């Protein structure tokens, strides 16, 4: 079974500081950010809200998309988030629920 790869954006608050990253285990990485286990911008500015993510089947496309998102101007990142998540909800709980449901379905 192939491991999924994710490109994601975290925010400190709506229209606040934004962090763009890539991960294989998105839940684990977001949990680390939320617990301030990742040193740097995310812990310094409390960038803990998962506001956007994309899933890929392979690492290459996820890394390319992450690089592209990092090159976007701030207003373009905000527009992308607002297009998919207009209320800037923390998508972590939704993702956690979906992944648990998927795991239960495969048992």
Count Cβ atoms below 10 Å from residue 37 Cβ, excluding itself: 11
Q: CATH code for 5-106? A: 3.40.1440.10
Per this entry, what is the length of the chain? 107
SS3 55: strand
> What was the pLDDT predicted at 46?
92
pTM: 0.90
Residue 18 is inside which H or E element, if any? Answer: strand 18-23
Q: What is the pLDDT along the chain (107 residues), one digit of tens a residue?
A: 468 999 999 999 999 999 999 999 999 999 999 999 988 888 899 999 999 999 999 999 999 999 999 999 999 999 999 999 999 999 999 888 877 776 666 65
């Amino acid at each position: 079974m192939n491991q999924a790869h994710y490109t994601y954006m975290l925010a400190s608050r709506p229209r606040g500081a934004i962090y763009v990253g890539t991960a294989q285990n998105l839940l684990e990485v977001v949990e680390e950010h939320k617990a301030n286990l990742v040193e740097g911008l995310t812990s310094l500015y409390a960038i803990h809200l998962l506001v956007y993510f994309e899933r890929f089947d392979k690492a290459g496309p996820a890394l390319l998309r992450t690089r592209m998102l990092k090159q976007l101007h701030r207003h373009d990142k905000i527009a992308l988030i607002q297009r998919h998540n207009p209320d800037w909800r923390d998508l972590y709980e939704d993702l956690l629920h979906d992944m648990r449901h998927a795991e239960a379905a495969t048992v």
